[in-house]
Structure 1
């Protein structure tokens, strides 16, 4: 163990009891339980005494405890951009969020007229700052703090949920569930985990014979959903609340994962073809309820939703001009437009004035979106990734997974 590691450990152990609750609480609790792999204990006694004294004198440094991430990943302000990379190989981050993972999908044919779309994930290695391929998982949700990911194994619906330590790549805990799970989502503060349950593989595809080509065209089943309900779990304790069944809904997609409302008191799902925001809310008993006042004008197909301070709502595309797209920013309670911002698809808020968006590449006739950092009141963009295009490899068509850091 070198001096830097010794300092970090002493600070962590001394200050841990003083740590207040806040964003990433679940990750911090789990971190206490983790064992360090491959540690070699070698340190001078005098150095130990000095380090402990420093830790007592400077407890505010505890926020960096147990941190093996590249400098700037957790500071909540730095920007890491790689506009020459698509898919990204190295860390992409801005403000309060980072690209925690991304995935590609590939159709896997089954016997008969059915197939499934299987995902392959690349997860951020917090030590190297690079994205590493991990084929073990069919679904990944990353918690605030980017220390833990909730994962499902390849066969869906899954009968257990894994809590993966992103630093070691090992599952620290398996949580068995009573109903098969196909989708996962953390609450905004990371203290709750939402599991959407299914009675069939949620990414099932049906085949239709094409007489012109002589082949099979694959599509999502329409007019029905495989979703059966949901359950809420405490990731720090590994406990599961009672399962809540939901009635079959012809207006829900076949995969219809639920998400938490901002305060974690409700859950919502996307409604196909709806004109009133494409979202339907339920309380934690499974009863349908009205949308909360600050979320009733949001759309479930716009990932950014509310700004961190809750005063602004990200809505959909409103205007396109050559080489540029603009999306609407509205008052979340009244729905009144406040301004427009660059971006064809608003994915996540970096802070209260900046967002991460898919935006079209300049000078391209075809729509080739790139991850971009956009700012309210400015027409300029900072490119974060290279263009996402459908090339010879399926890896070119990738989907980002952002998490608060």
Structure 2
């Protein structure tokens, strides 16, 4: 197995650890394959959860009538980079996209044989431009404008969804739901919310007693997912659709909306990386939309703002440096290559935020960078992740949102 395959497989493994959305580290997978080659981890990332799920629109509560954010903290479209900080302490942003939050996770034993992933979030303080820790939430999805977030409390599956005012840190209202929820994603217009429903916590882990470095493993091919709720955010009204998990579903396999909000999709395990299955809002399987047919569930950037470019996977053609493909979303034909081991979020129609390998490192320690189509130049936005030794823990994972 070569380095590029390890990197791609690492993205699949890290995605399996996420709530909404995303991606991870090749060295972890290298260690995993050396210890247990017979149990290969499969891709389950979605735009929701993404590791780094790019937050999409939700109707803002009072839409900034009493915006307490100081001028210049979030309104500036300049690049705010802190290459000396990992995890970040101060605002990271570029153009119209900002790091709205990030989280770490660790597996906590519940019994001798079963554990559960517990996440700790750091949310951007709108007044100071710094990230502040909270242990209250198991999932956070941040809306454009970064004034509102949808949240789930610890102890999944949850039976209510909170709408959090990010300028005050207070819950504006709770939306009760009649089925247990484990994942959230907004439609692009912000009017609808898809909540993935589960019969038990999708972040349960089984102890692998003969593998010290990978002691806790997800329940691959074994899911309690029951379907999804589609909620009207303004009214809180919802409808539920049953979607049996099948053998192509991992323990956590969240739904997200298609670009136009008329369908939802989730990742599936199949013959190649990044496979995705679309459903109508009644839960029936349908074909992928024309402009999303060639997207990958394990690449969170997906379509450019104008919809003319699609971010897809890491290419094997340049083993000396990490490059990812940009393709025509309707034909799948390559348009160009762009720097970056993993494309996380579009900043505009020419620039993206990506993960890149820290220079001079013999292991894959990703750092956030800004890359530009047609340019070899990268701008480092954060410091690299720490050296990975404890695989029951996960280094900080970014959550991006439009400003």
Asked if these proteins are the same fold (TM beyond 0.5), I'd say yes
Instruction: Tell me how far apart the structure 1 counterparts of residues 218 and 291 of structure 2 sit (CA, whole Å).
Output: 32
- SS across alignment from 1:363: coil
Does structure 2 retain, via aligned residues, the 8 Å contact 1:390–1:397? no
- The residue that corresponds to 1:186 in the other structure is 186
1:218 maps to 2:251: no
Larger radius of gyration: 1
Instruction: Tell me how far apart the structure 1 counterparts of residues 177 and 330 of structure 2 sit (CA, whole Å).
Output: 37
Change (3 A) 1:385 1:323: farther
Change (3 A) 1:244 1:297: same
Cα-to-partner distance string for 1:67-94 (whole Å, 9 max, x where unaligned) = 3334345547321111110000111111
Q: Which moved more, 1:228-237 or 1:65-74?
A: 65-74
- The residue that corresponds to 1:85 in the other structure is 85
- SS across alignment from 2:307: coil
- The residue that corresponds to 2:132 in the other structure is 132
1:356 maps to 2:353: yes
Instruction: Tell me how far apart the structure 1 counterparts of residues 277 and 196 of structure 2 sit (CA, whole Å).
Output: 15
Q: Which TM-score applies when normalising by structure 2?
A: 0.81
CA shift at 1:230, angstroms? 0.6
- SS across alignment from 1:370: strand
Change (3 A) 1:385 1:296: same
* Aligned with 2:263 (options 255, 261, 266): 266
- The residue that corresponds to 1:9 in the other structure is none
CA shift at 1:216, angstroms? 8.4
Q: 5 Å matches for 1:74-113?
A: 74-75=74-75, 77-113=77-113
Instruction: Tell me how far apart the structure 1 counterparts of residues 334 and 89 of structure 2 sit (CA, whole Å).
Output: 37
- The residue that corresponds to 1:54 in the other structure is none
CA shift at 1:65, angstroms? 4.9
Question: Which blocks of at least 5 consecutive residues in structure 1 are unaligned?
Answer: 1-22, 33-63
Higher RCO structure, 1 or 2 (CA under 8 Å, sep 6+): 2
Cα-to-partner distance string for 1:15-53 (whole Å, 9 max, x where unaligned) = xxxxxxxx95601xx126xxxxxxxxxxxxxxxxxxxxx
- The residue that corresponds to 1:306 in the other structure is 303
Change (3 A) 1:202 1:323: same
- The residue that corresponds to 1:121 in the other structure is 121
CA shift at 1:225, angstroms? 1.4
Does structure 2 retain, via aligned residues, the 8 Å contact 1:196–1:257? yes
1:26 maps to 2:59: yes
Aligned residues: 347
4+ residue stretches of structure 1 with deviation over 3 A? 70-76, 319-323, 390-396
Q: Which moved more, 1:261-270 or 1:75-84?
A: 75-84
Cα-to-partner distance string for 1:198-249 (whole Å, 9 max, x where unaligned) = 0010101012321x86x98211112221211111112222x23211110122
Cα-to-partner distance string for 1:240-290 (whole Å, 9 max, x where unaligned) = 321111012211121001111111111110112342841000011111100
1:68 maps to 2:99: no
Change (3 A) 1:221 1:391: closer
- The residue that corresponds to 2:161 in the other structure is 161
Alignment RMSD: 2.2
Does structure 1 retain, via aligned residues, the 8 Å contact 2:125–2:167? yes
- The residue that corresponds to 1:53 in the other structure is none
Instruction: Tell me how far apart the structure 2 counterparts of residues 77 and 363 of structure 1 sit (CA, whole Å).
Output: 31
CA shift at 1:351, angstroms? 0.3
Does structure 1 retain, via aligned residues, the 8 Å contact 2:106–2:393? no
Q: 5 Å matches for 1:5-404?
A: 24=57, 26-27=59-60, 30-31=61-62, 65-72=65-72, 74-75=74-75, 77-210=77-210, 217-237=215-235, 239-275=236-272, 277-319=274-316, 324-390=321-387, 397-404=395-402
Instruction: Tell me how far apart the structure 2 counterparts of residues 248 and 349 of structure 1 sit (CA, whole Å).
Output: 31
Does structure 1 retain, via aligned residues, the 8 Å contact 2:151–2:161? yes
Q: Which TM-score applies when normalising by structure 1?
A: 0.81
